[in-house]
Copies of this chain bind each other. A is one copy, B any other.
Amino acid sequence: MSAKPSGDKRKKTPESAPGAVWFRAEKTSRTRPQLSHERIIATAVELLDRDGVQKLSMRRLAERLGAHATSLYWHVATKDDVLDLALDAVFAELDLPDEHSASWQGDVEAFMTGLRSVLLRHPWAAALAGSRPLLGPHALRSSEFAYTALATGGFDGVHLSSAAATITHYVIGSASSEAVWRKRSDEAATRSAVDAHLRAHIDEYPTLAGHFPLLKEDDWDAHFHRGMRLLLTGLTSSEARG
């Protein structure tokens, strides 16, 4: 199959004919805008949102940009760079207040729910975030917010970084899990198949059978909030602090 409908080789209107100046783009051939860092990243995010991380290739990305795959390598070093940049672009969408609120717990909660929602907006992002260091400028900026909130809560030194890592791991882990489940169209079918399997082997899974989580789609939010409350309880208990 694979009908290639592009072609793009028609020369119907000769560009060197008299009078053609008026219909020609102004200075250089602006039919396709030039490649740039930002355009590459924006398009990568767009393709990742549409087709997922497995389907993203340098060739597809370049095609979408009206360029050749090899041209991308003037702007980025590797495909991994593209993924890192796309991921940081997701963190850039995280909208955190400039000022911190009166309650540090409220700020922690704002960080967690905010991060979760941008990660869910781009279902490929959480898994990526969980598997590479988050060192982009926007990721660091979001870390700064979490660190400040926790520092206000009395955390310091190694306890501060442990607490920050813990809440971040929770958000990324739960978003990744939610994204991977929701991605599959047959979530409900898979869940009831697993549930049936567990009940059929109830001697091996006496507790798990009957507790396998989440069959309805509205449950995800509450599921996340329960875990978050658990963490906030732990954070608020004074023993945990430095």
Contact = CB atoms under 8 A, between A and B. Distances in A.
Nearest to A184: B133
Copies of this chain, complex-wide, total 2
Contacts of A226: 158-159, 162-163, 240
A206 B151 CA distance: 11
A114 interface: no
The contact size tier of chain A is: 35 or more
Contacts of A194: 135
Interface of A: 127, 130-133, 135, 140-141, 143-144, 147-148, 151, 157-163, 165-166, 168-170, 172-174, 176-177, 180-181, 190, 194, 198, 204-208, 211-214, 219, 222-223, 226-227, 229-235, 237, 239-240
15 contacts: A130-B130, A131-B131, A140-B198, A144-B204, A144-B206, A157-B211, A158-B213, A158-B222, A162-B213, A165-B213, A169-B174, A170-B173, A230-B234, A231-B234, A234-B237
